[in-house]
Structure 1
Amino acid sequence: MPFSADRSAPARWALAALAPLALAACQNEGRVHSAPKEAYKPGGWAIAPELTRLEWGKAENRKACAPLVFTDSAGATINARPAEFSGGWAIAFDLPGLRSAYGVAGTGLLRDDDLDSAQEKERKLRAQWPYFRELPGLPQASYAGYGLQGAKPYPTDNPEGTGLDSLAYVRVGGQKCLYNVWSKLGRDHLEALLDSLRML
Structure 2
Amino acid sequence: MSMRPSAMRMPYLIAAILVAAAVPAAGSGKPPARWATGTPLIGEAVALTQWDMAENRAQCAPLALLSDGGVRGKARPAAFGGGWAVAFDVPGVRSAYGFAGTGLLPQDAQPSGWQRDRLTQQWPHMRDLTALPAPAFAGYGVVGAEPYPADNRAGKGLHSLAYMRIEGQRCTYNVWSRISRAHLETLLDNLRLLR
C-alpha deviation, 1:39, in angstroms = 6.8
Structure 2 residue 111 is the aligned partner of structure 1 residue 111: no
Residue by residue over 1:144-196, the C-alpha shift from the partner in whole angstroms, topping out at 9 and shown as x without a partner, is 00000000000111100111100000001011111000000000000000000
SS of residue matched to 2:87: strand
Query: What is residue 144 of structure 1 aligned with on the other side?
Result: 138
Whole-angstrom distance in 1 between the partners of 2:184 and 2:107: 29
Whole-angstrom distance in 2 between the partners of 1:105 and 1:168: 10
SS of residue matched to 1:157: helix
C-alpha deviation, 1:70, in angstroms = 1.3
Q: Could you tell me the TM-score, scaled by structure 1's length?
A: 0.77
Q: CA RMSD in A?
A: 1.8
Identical aligned pairs, as a percentage?
51
Query: What is residue 15 of structure 1 aligned with on the other side?
Result: none
Judged with a 3 Å threshold, the aligned counterparts in structure 2 of structure 1 residues 112 and 149 are, in CA distance, closer, same or farther, namely closer
Structure 1 unmatched ranges of 5 or more: 1-35
CA contact (8 A) 1:89 1:105 kept: yes
Residue by residue over 1:103-162, the C-alpha shift from the partner in whole angstroms, topping out at 9 and shown as x without a partner, is 000000121433x33211111111100000000111111100000000000011110011
SS of residue matched to 2:100: strand
Query: What is residue 157 of structure 1 aligned with on the other side?
Result: 151
Residue by residue over 1:66-87, the C-alpha shift from the partner in whole angstroms, topping out at 9 and shown as x without a partner, is 0011110101023100000000
Query: What is residue 6 of structure 1 aligned with on the other side?
Result: none
Structure 2 residue 46 is the aligned partner of structure 1 residue 51: yes
Structure 2 unmatched ranges of 5 or more: 1-26
CA contact (8 A) 1:47 1:70 kept: yes
CA contact (8 A) 2:77 2:86 kept: yes
C-alpha deviation, 1:40, in angstroms = 7.7
CA contact (8 A) 2:30 2:132 kept: no
CA contact (8 A) 1:48 1:80 kept: yes
SS of residue matched to 2:147: coil
SS of residue matched to 1:191: helix
SS of residue matched to 1:54: helix
Whole-angstrom distance in 1 between the partners of 2:81 and 2:150: 35
Higher helix share: 1
Whole-angstrom distance in 2 between the partners of 1:55 and 1:159: 34
Number of aligned positions between the proteins? 162
CA contact (8 A) 1:110 1:176 kept: no
Rg larger for: 1
